[in-house]
Chain A
Amino acid sequence: MSALYLFQLGFGVQQPAGIVVSDDLMAMVVKILFVAAAAIYAVFALVMVRQIHVMRHTLFTSLSGVVRILGYVQLVLAGAVLIGFITLL
C-alpha cells in the first residue's frame, strides 16, 4: 500500500463516482489551477513572514521568537505543498 493511498484512506477520500476527470487535458488544467493557487498562497506566506519581521520590530515581546518560527513553518509548508502539487499531481 502506498503512502498516498494510506493518506487518502485516513482522509476518507471516496473513490470517484460518475463522471471522472480522467481526460489528460482536463487533468492538466486542474493541476495548473492547483499549482497556481499554491503559488499564490506561497507568496502570501512570504509576505506574512516579512510582516512578522516588521511586527516584531514594532513590538517586542517574549513570544516574538515563537511567532517568527511559526511564520517560517507556514512558509515551509506552503513551499512543500507547492512542490507536492507540481510533482505529485
Chain B
Amino acid sequence: MPDIFNADNHQLDKDKNDAPAADGSGPPRSGRPTGQPVASTETVKFPHRHHHDEGGGPPHPHRHVDEYSEVMRHEVASANPLAAFQPKPVAVFFSTQVEGEQVLLLLRKSLVTQVRWVVIAVLLTLVPVLVNSVGMLSFLSASFQTAAFVFWYLIVTGFIFESFLSWFFSVYIITDERIIDVDFVSLIYRNISSAKIDNIEDITAVSGGAVQALFNFGTVRIQTAGTKAEIEFELVPQPSKVTRLLNELILEEEREKLEGRVN
C-alpha cells in the first residue's frame, strides 16, 4: 500500500505538473483546486491518522468539533471571505489539505493592522491634487501632465492591490489535525509551515499595547516538537479564543490516542 502521507510525494518545487489531491492518491475533492508547484520552500508534516488502528481493526470515528470544543460550539460557520477570524469557514481549502481534514479556523492579521496602508493609499490618492494646486508639473506639456497623473493612479492601484493580496492570502489555519502558517512575505516569496496538533508543546498568547487590548488582537506563539520549533500567528483577532481552541484540540488528540490504545 503506497505511503500516501510521505512528504517526499509532495515536493512542490520538483513537481512541475498539476497534482491531484494533496496526498497524491486520486482525483481532488470536487471544488478544490489542484496543487501548483512553485519555486519556494515549504515545510509540511503530514498527520498519521493515529486513530486508525494499524493492527487491522476498524477506524475509530472522528468526533465532530462541536462535540469536544466549547469554543467551536458557540461559533457559527463563517461565510465572509474577508473576515480576519473565520470559524468553520465555508468553501475554504488549501493546497496541502488531505482528504477528510477539516478546516476549523481560518485567521488573518487583524483588520486594524491594515489601517496604515489604507491611510497611505488615501494620502497617495490626494497627491496629484496637491501637485496640481502648486503647479509642480507646469514645466511639462498638458499631455505629459495627464500621463503623469494617470500613471500615478495606476501605481496607487497597484499598491492597494498588492497590500490587499498580502493580507488576504497570508493566513493561519487550524484544522482538526494540524496548524498551518501560510506567509506571503511579498508577491514573490511564499513560506508555508505546518505542525501536527499533537506535536504542540506550548502555546502562548501575547497581546500588548492599548490598541491590541482595545481591538482584542495579539500574537499566538506555538512551540512545537517538529522541525520548525515555533509557529507564530501574528496579530490575529481573539488570541485567547485561539489558545483555548488549540488546547481543546490537544486534549482531543490525546483522548483519541488513549482510545486507540484501549480499543
Q: Which residues from chain A sit less than 8 Å from chain B, CB to CB?
A: 4, 7-8, 11-22, 27, 30-31, 34, 37-38, 41, 44-45, 47-48, 51-63, 67, 70-71, 74, 77-78, 81, 84-85, 88-89
Q: A38-B151, A48-B162, A63-B82 are known contacts. Are A21 and B144 too (CB-CB below 8 A)?
A: yes
Q: Is the CB of B157 within 8 A of A54?
A: no
Size category of the B interface is 35 or more
Q: Which residues from chain B sit less than 8 Å from chain A, CB to CB?
A: 32-36, 38, 79, 81-82, 89-95, 128, 132, 135, 138-151, 154-155, 157-158, 161-162, 165, 168-169, 171, 182, 184, 187-188, 190, 192
Q: A14-B135, A48-B187 are known contacts. Are A60 and B33 too (CB-CB below 8 A)?
A: yes
Q: How far is the CB of B235 from chain A (nearest CB, A)?
A: 18
Give CA–CA (A7, B132) in the complex, Å.
15
Give CA–CA (A85, B79) in the complex, Å.
43
Q: Is the CB of A34 within 8 A of B36?
A: no
The contact sample of 16 A-B pairs, CB cut-off 8 A, is: A11-B145, A13-B132, A21-B144, A31-B144, A34-B144, A41-B158, A51-B187, A54-B190, A55-B184, A59-B93, A59-B171, A62-B91, A63-B168, A67-B165, A84-B150, A89-B143
Q: How far is the CB of B15 from chain A (nearest CB, A)?
A: 12
Chain A residue nearest in CB terms to B128: A11
Give CA–CA (A44, B144) in the complex, Å.
22
Q: Is the CB of B142 within 8 A of A16?
A: yes
Q: How far is the CB of B240 from chain A (nearest CB, A)?
A: 25
- Closest 10 interchain pairs by CB? A57-B36, A63-B81, A55-B169, A60-B93, A51-B187, A62-B91, A61-B81, A13-B145, A62-B81, A58-B95
| Majority-rule SS of A interface residues | helix
Indicate the member of B38, B89, B128, B171 with the most A CB atoms within 10 Å. B38
Q: Is the CB of A59 within 8 A of B34?
A: no
Chain B residue nearest in CB terms to A57: B36
Q: A19: which B residues are within 8 A, CB to CB?
A: 139
Give CA–CA (A41, B158) in the complex, Å.
9
Give CA–CA (A68, B154) in the complex, Å.
18
Q: Is the CB of B158 within 8 A of A57?
A: no
Q: B171: which A residues are within 8 A, CB to CB?
A: 59
Q: A41-B154, A58-B94 are known contacts. Are A18 and B187 too (CB-CB below 8 A)?
A: no
Give CA–CA (A41, B157) in the complex, Å.
11
Chain A residue nearest in CB terms to B192: A58
Q: A4-B143, A4-B146, A48-B162 are known contacts. Are A58 and B190 too (CB-CB below 8 A)?
A: yes
Q: A52: which B residues are within 8 A, CB to CB?
A: 165
Chain A residue nearest in CB terms to B86: A61
Q: How far is the CB of B135 from chain A (nearest CB, A)?
A: 6
Q: Is the CB of B187 within 8 A of A47?
A: yes
Chain B residue nearest in CB terms to A51: B187
Q: Is the CB of B140 within 8 A of A12?
A: no
Give CA–CA (A83, B20) in the complex, Å.
40
Give CA–CA (A22, B143) in the complex, Å.
11
Q: Which of B128, B138, B155, B162 contacts A16 (CB 8 A)?
A: B138
